[in-house]
């Protein structure tokens, strides 16, 4: 496999990318303070560059993205064109990439604030109840005129899924909502943004993150075109294969290294290209390596794997881990999530991660560079 073969391929700029936050007296724990095993295993520099991350403090993540209700149909297989199939069961679940990622980050120890929009309806109130129960700051969530985003998810017996979404109230978000969220971005270590919100909203949030010193992380999902000006200002981008193909104009089936090379032409950001069971191809600007996937005990439902990965990655980066080390944590979180049905119930807590990875996120743990 090309990705594995090029695990140690160097890129042109052998230096960490930076969130450009002014340094303070509370510097990240240096590699010299890490154990020799941690230093050897790290293999990459801190994603936060010269951004100060204080050892032993709670990581802070601001999330800008979607919330909606997912209507989940369990089917033996998805229908072909013009065909009707009967579902074995139907249930309503919390959905939306932003909300899922916020819950995932909080369960792994981050202090999380969320910007999204919901309708003035039962689905919207269900979301607010979820965030209260989970301990997520949703004080700036907008109540729109349109209904809460709703998605239909077909989950097949092998765990694969198909999703159709109506965006609803999310389409009403605008730059003024981001400006009302600015204090949360300013107080965050990482600002994680996905594209269920309008691209202009995503761009405003990422621009403020760069300006205010938070790590600007984009999960370009759902797959839509992203302007050059937006993608050029990122610190971290986390696409899957199909999203990377859209962003780069490469044909379906392009090799992972080809996709990462093409992304590198558009952005200086750290890149984590998720490849499902093949792992994650990580390019931190100074090195490239394949982080293996973690084999799950069983594949029950893959719906929440991507959001579990993003939430865990954002938390790990907020703790001061480098791209590769953070991707290892995120891969374990994603693996846990596919072994359980539904999304929110499948998002792991710290105790669900392997001890060697869990310790990286605990206060006082080794902050690997």
DSSP state string for 58-110: --EEEEE---EEEEEEE-SSPPPTT-----SEEEEEEE-HHHHHHHHHHHTT-
Q: Say what the pLDDT of residue 66 is.
A: 96
CB neighbour class for 258 (10 Å; exposed up to 12, middle 13-18, buried from 19): middle
**What is the chain's pLDDT, residue by residue, as a tens digit (369 residues)?**
333 333 333 333 333 334 444 333 332 233 233 333 333 333 354 443 334 444 347 899 999 999 999 898 999 999 999 999 999 999 898 989 999 999 999 999 999 999 999 999 999 999 999 999 999 999 999 999 999 999 898 989 988 889 888 999 999 999 999 999 999 999 999 999 999 999 999 999 999 999 999 999 999 998 888 999 999 889 999 999 999 999 999 999 999 999 999 999 999 999 999 999 999 999 988 899 999 999 898 898 888 899 999 999 999 999 999 999 999 999 999 999 999 888 899 999 999 999 999 888 876 443 433
Give the Cα separation of 223 and 128 in Å (integer). 27
Q: What is the dihedral of CA 309, 311, 312, 315, to 10 degrees?
A: 150
Give the Cα separation of 325 and 57 in Å (integer). 19
Contact 106, 134 (CB under 8 A): yes
In-domain check, residue 138: no
Q: Say what the pLDDT of residue 302 is.
A: 85
Residue located via tokens 């996120």: 361
Looking at the chain, list the stretches that DSSP marks H as alpha helix, in order from N- to C-terminal side. Answer: 2-5, 36-42, 97-107, 122-134, 175-180, 182-186, 199-212, 228-231, 241-248, 256-266, 305-318, 323-338, 355-361
Q: Say what the pLDDT of residue 357 is.
A: 92
Range of the domain at 199: 2-65+97-117+175-361
Q: Which of 37, 93, 307, 352 is catalytic?
A: 307
Residues 6+ away with beta carbon under 8 Å from 300: 159, 338, 339, 340, 341
Q: Say what the pLDDT of residue 363 is.
A: 63
**What are the backbone dihedrals phi and psi of residue 163, each rounded to the nearest 5 degrees, phi first?**
-135, 135
Q: Say what the pLDDT of residue 22 is.
A: 35
In-domain check, residue 279: yes
Within a 10 A sphere around the Cβ of 368, how many other Cβ atoms?
27
Write 54-59 long-range contacts (CB < 8 A, 24+). Answer: 54/26, 54/28, 55/28, 55/29, 55/320, 55/364, 55/367, 56/363, 56/364, 57/363, 58/109, 58/110, 58/111, 58/363, 59/109, 59/110, 59/111, 59/189, 59/190, 59/315, 59/318, 59/319, 59/361
Q: What is the CATH number of the domain that holds 241?
A: 3.40.1190.20
Q: What is the dihedral of CA 333, 110, 186, 285, to 10 degrees?
A: -30
C-alpha distance across the termini of the chain, in Å: 28
Domain count across the chain? 1
Tokens describing residue 180: 């009302």
Q: Say what the pLDDT of residue 329 is.
A: 97
Contact 367, 53 (CB under 8 A): yes
In-domain check, residue 77: no
In-domain check, residue 126: no
Question: Residues 222, 314, 164, CA angle at the centre, nearest 5°?
Answer: 20
In-domain check, residue 309: yes
Give the Cα separation of 57 and 29 in Å (integer). 12
Tokens describing residue 73: 């149909």
The whole-angstrom distance between residue 212's C-alpha and the CA centroid of its chain comes to: 20
Give the Cα separation of 362 and 157 in Å (integer). 36
Tokens describing residue 52: 């100060």
User: The pTM is what?
Assistant: 0.81
Contact 315, 110 (CB under 8 A): yes
In-domain check, residue 354: yes
Q: Say what the pLDDT of residue 298 is.
A: 87
Within a 10 A sphere around the Cβ of 223, how many other Cβ atoms?
15
In-domain check, residue 312: yes
In-domain check, residue 348: yes
Residue 307 catalytic? yes
How far is residue 179 from each of residues 106, 126, 140, 153, measured CA to CA in Å? Answer: 23, 25, 10, 33
Which of the 8 DSSP states describes residue 32? G
């Amino acid at each position: 496999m090309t990705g594995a073969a090029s695990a140690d391929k160097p890129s042109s700029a052998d230096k960490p990318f930076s969130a450009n936050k002014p340094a303070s007296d509370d510097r990240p724990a240096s590699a010299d303070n890490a154990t020799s095993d941690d230093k050897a295993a790290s293999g990459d520099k801190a994603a936060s560059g010269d951004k100060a991350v204080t050892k032993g403090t709670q990581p802070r993540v601001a999330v800008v993205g979607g919330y909606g209700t997912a209507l989940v149909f369990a089917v033996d297989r998805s229908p072909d064109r013009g065909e009707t199939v009967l579902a074995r069961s139907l249930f309503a679940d919390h959905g939306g990439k932003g909300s899922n990622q916020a819950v995932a980050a909080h369960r792994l120890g981050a202090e999380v604030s969320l910007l999204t929009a919901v309708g003035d309806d039962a689905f919207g109130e269900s979301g607010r109840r979820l965030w209260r129960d989970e301990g997520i700051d949703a004080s700036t969530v907008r109540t729109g005129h349109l209904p809460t985003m709703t998605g239909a998810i077909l989950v097949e017996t092998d765990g694969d899924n198909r999703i159709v979404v109506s965006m609803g109230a999310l389409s009403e978000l605008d730059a003024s909502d981001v400006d009302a969220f600015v204090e949360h971005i300013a107080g965050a270590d990482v600002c994680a943004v996905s594209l269920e919100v309008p691209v202009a909203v995503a761009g405003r949030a990422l621009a403020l993150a760069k300006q205010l010193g938070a790590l600007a992380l984009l999960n370009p999902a759902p797959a839509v075109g992203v302007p050059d000006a937006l993608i050029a200002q990122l610190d971290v981008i986390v696409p899957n294969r199909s999203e990377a193909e859209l962003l780069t104009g490469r044909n379906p089936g392009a090799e992972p290294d080809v996709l990462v090379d093409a992304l590198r032409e558009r952005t200086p950001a750290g890149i984590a290209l998720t490849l499902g069971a093949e792992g994650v191809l990580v390019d931190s600007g100074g090195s490239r390596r394949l982080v293996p996937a973690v084999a799950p005990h069983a594949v029950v439902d893959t719906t929440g794997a991507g959001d579990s990965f993003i939430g865990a990655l954002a938390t790990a980066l907020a703790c001061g881990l480098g791209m590769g080390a953070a991707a290892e944590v995120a891969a374990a979180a994603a693996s846990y999530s596919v072994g359980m049905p539904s999304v929110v119930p499948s998002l792991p807590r710290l105790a669900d991660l392997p001890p060697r990875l869990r310790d990286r996120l605990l206060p006082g743990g080794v902050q690997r560079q």
